[in-house]
Amino acid sequence: MLRWALIQAADNTTLRDLTRNSGIARQVVDRYIAGESTADGLAAARSLAEAGIDLTLDHVGEFIAHLDQAQAAADVYRELLDRIGDDGLPAGVSVKPTQLGLLLDREVCTNLIADLAKRAHAADVHVTLDMEDHTVTESTVELVEEAHAAGFTNVGCAVQSALHRTAEDVRRLTRAGASLRLCKGAYAEPSHLAYQRKPDVDRAYLESARYLVAEGVEPRFATHDHRIVAAIKREAALLGRDRSTYEFQMLYGIRTDMQEALVADGYRLRVYLPFGEEWFAYFMRRLAERPANMIFFARALTGALTSR
């Protein structure tokens, strides 16, 4: 019930405006969002890179209403790619297809992804297409396949273990040569399309993780669950998979202790670093993604209140 309420709140404009105008709330949000400007995002990226952490930069925003918004988002990513290349940052970019106009004009979206992929390739940067809700899952998978068919092998995507179809998508995209980010999913999907119970989502995650450890192309395991991290480590060790050929991914501001421990133990870690003005929906979905996130939020909010 709480998860559903938080996901629904992601689209609540009144709550969004209240949060934007609350100094206390913004103190909490700033722990998980690296600012609103490109300069903010890059500054946070440099700080993490100095600690030996790789990044994937996400200019937050999704389900745009006008194609000029798609062009504006693409411009931000073009600037990011230039700066990543110029500064030698250990960073990739994560892009939501609906932010590039997928639901408005598929051809425009495809062309923008191709342009970004070409620029990213020149800068030796990986592009991940974020997986959004089930209405665009097939289109996102197809966009990755089309990118690879066009020679853009630096394009991969996220896949969500909550969806029933994901096990097959993992195999389908691996056959295409795509690098995948395996996550659990942050959308309230219907029961005929997605698992509703956490144990089922976790089980599906581990099944896909085992396949990716054995067969995946530079798999990326996005989780804050220490039990799942331990299981992936064991599976990789059993199969003799070198640590340099896969990575763990975690969200900016979440489980920083675990992030530091992974780096100290010699594992590859990539932090998903969101920034931009449209941060509210992202923030609410992160709270909904797992109960522990809500605990972190409550602790941070308590700290903000007591410091007044």
Q: Which residues of 248-279 are buried (b: 16+ CB within 10 A; e: fewer)?
A: bbbbbbbbeebbeebbeeebbbbbbbbbbebb
Let me know if 46 is a catalytic residue.
Answer: no
Identity (one letter) of the amino acid at 115?
D
Q: Are 186 and 289 in contact (CB under 8 A)?
A: yes
Compute the chain's Rg from CA coordinates. 18
Q: State the first-to-last Cα distance of the chain, in angstroms, to the nearest integer.
A: 32
Check residue 276 and report its DSSP letter.
Answer: S
Let me know if 210 is a catalytic residue.
Answer: no
The catalytic residue among 54, 58, 130, 133 is 130
64 to 70, 227, 301: CA distances (angstroms)? 7, 37, 30
The catalytic residue among 16, 83, 119, 181 is 181
Cα distance between residue 308 and residue 305, in whole Å = 6
| Residues belonging to the active site | 130, 181
